[in-house]
Chains A and B, each alone.
Chain A
Amino acid sequence: MLEWLNQTVYADVTWLNLIIALAIFILALIVSKLVSVQLRRSFKEKLSKEHLEMMAKLVSYGIMVIALLWIMPTVGIEPSGLMVAGGIVALALGFASQSIIGNLISGLFLMGERPVKIGDQVEIAGHRGFVEDIHIISTSIRTLDGLYIRIPNETVFTSSIINYSSNQVRRVEFVIGIRYSDDAEKAVQEIQEVINKHPLTLVNPEPHVFVDELGDNSVDLVARIWTPTSEWYNVKRELLWKIKVAIEAAGIQIPFPQRVLWYGADEENAPGAVESGTIDSIEGSSSASE
């Protein structure tokens, strides 16, 4: 009844050989899955997520490679023959799959150089998001709006990478415009107080608040605040409105863009007015604008 098992399929390979090979392959697949799951569980608290993933993948791929080498003789392929054919195959593969090899090599370099880690917030080739996984061929990113993007490693390797999570701390910068008639020192003090009250603004590096520019419509103050990188977004989100509320409570206003026109009749009051002659208009901002 089971005689068909001994029937030759090709060369000396029988159906039984193929079934054994398939069984070994499936078994290896299951074992590699189980081992990688077990490794992830056992080393969860001892290794970083990135190292753990890399180790799990290496062990998993290793098991599969051993299984394939084991299967080869069963399905009529001699591994020693592969070595002879290796050069030719490599050449053929090189031409046929340039991009795959390029991605693979880029992947290996990326794993060595490690410009990004799993979980980092990055911008690669114009895509901004969190690194979900770094595979040997590609890197996957979850964008800030929840999309999945797979970027070939060659693109990752040859692109400029901005890693927002690479450093321990990150700076938030606000530009706050106040009226020319407002007391800038008082405004600086109020802003400094709001910054100091916030728990996630760092004491060191010290926050700086100063008059940065005498703008067309306002005196521009700049606040530069350092926060833990993980809290950058929360601090940015919370602080600006608190600053606005605090300086307005102190009687300081954030002006709208404005342009003051001085007509001939007001020429004597116009800033920078000349002694004689006529002035049709002078454009610009001044403390008299209020």
Chain B
Amino acid sequence: MDNKQKTAPETTVQISWAHQPGQSGGGFPWGPHKVPVKLSFEGISLALEKQEAGMHYRRSSNGENYEKKIFAQKGRFFLSPVEPFHKPVGISTHLLVEFTQPVLLEPRASRNVMVTFPLELASAIAQTRDGGKVLDIFSLSPAKFTLYGSIRSGLICRYWKSEVYGKLPVVNPVLEGIMEINVQNTSGRWAEINKAAFSAQGMKIYFNPYLVSLKASIKIINDYSAETSFIDEPLRKGMDKALEQFTPRLIGLPAKTLMEEGY
């Protein structure tokens, strides 16, 4: 392999990027990238190299190494943010965001707030303009889980704690995304919102080099119940749609989450 590396020219990028437009360094280069390519960012090294029989994918991060052989002659490499439910796999299909400060909303009012949400990244190979094939999914933020509801019938949720922002905060787009939540209080009483649980179904993530985003809504029904769902819209114009790992075909999850155990 060493000999091959000497003879074959490759793109090696030590990525440093700005988290917002206007700063030097540009945004995060999600791709596409020509093969061979080596990317190194936030303690993670990714490489997709050509070999005689096809290609070889490698990732190393925090002492973990992952490799995959790909039998394809051509293809372009790219990264995409994906729903944060794969690491570890199969534990949860819901996300619970706990707010560091409760949000108090007057009766029959609607307001947009912004919170952060966890991300996982997918390495993928694509030959055409289709979604491509995911090679690997990894996460830069450690996962944590929580139970929403009762021990008997509650939901195991991916847990995330976030501040509540009135305007778009600056965050690292490979670590966190920004979720704009439209909070509607349809009840005739004041509502204090401390957390929101969302189903993975319908989680439509959009991204650009500076921002990974989601749009969602919380409808307050009464003192104890609320309904949450995602909205399939980018936060800014011109954002690309991320790879979707949860689709109606794959899982029979409802797209809306009824929070009946408080919010």
Contact = CB atoms under 8 A, between A and B. Distances in A.
A205 B145 contact: no
Given A168-B152, A205-B151, A228-B156, A200 B146 contact: no
A230 B90 CA distance: 9
Given A200-B88, A203-B159, A168 B145 contact: no
Contacts, number: 49
Nearest to A226: B147
B252 A205 contact: no
Interface in A215-242: 226, 228, 230-231
B145 A203 contact: yes
A230 B147 contact: no
A231 B91 contact: yes
Interface in A145-177: 166-169
B151 A228 contact: no
A45 B147 contact: no
B171 interface: no
A167 B152 contact: yes
Interface in A186-203: 197, 199-200, 202-203
A149 to B, nearest CB: 27
Main secondary structure of the interface of B (DSSP, over half): loop
A204 interface: yes
A46 interface: yes
A168 B88 contact: no
Given A45-B252, A168-B152, A205-B151, A199 B90 contact: no
B167 interface: no
B159 A46 contact: no
A200 B91 contact: yes
Contacts of B154: 168-169
Interface in B77-102: 88, 90-92
Contact of B145 (A45, A166, A228): A228
A132 B24 CA distance: 60
Contact of B147 (A197, A200, A202, A231): A202
B146 A46 contact: no
Interface string A240-256: 00000000000000000
Interface residues of A, number: 17
Contacts of B252: 45-46
A159 B132 CA distance: 53
Interface string B125-169: 000000000000000001111111001111110010000000000
Nearest to B158: A199
Given A46-B252, A200-B91, A228-B91, A169 B144 contact: no
A184 B4 CA distance: 58
B87 to A, nearest CB: 8
Contacts of A169: 147, 151, 154, 156
Contacts of A199: 88, 142-145
Nearest to B146: A203
A197 B142 CA distance: 8
Contacts of A203: 144-146, 159
Interface in B86-124: 88, 90-92
Contacts of A167: 151-152
Given A46-B252, A199-B142, A203-B159, A168 B90 contact: no
A46 B252 CA distance: 7
Nearest to A196: B144
Contact of B156 (A45, A166, A168): A168
A204 B91 contact: no
A201 to B, nearest CB: 8
21 contacts: A45-B250, A45-B251, A167-B151, A168-B147, A168-B152, A168-B155, A169-B147, A169-B151, A169-B154, A199-B142, A199-B145, A200-B91, A202-B145, A203-B144, A203-B145, A203-B146, A205-B151, A226-B147, A228-B91, A228-B92, A230-B91
Interface of B: 88, 90-92, 142-148, 151-156, 159, 249-252
Given A167-B151, A200-B88, A202-B156, 19 more contacts: A45-B249, A45-B251, A45-B252, A46-B252, A166-B152, A167-B152, A168-B156, A169-B154, A199-B88, A199-B142, A200-B91, A202-B147, A203-B144, A204-B146, A204-B148, A205-B147, A228-B91, A228-B92, A230-B91
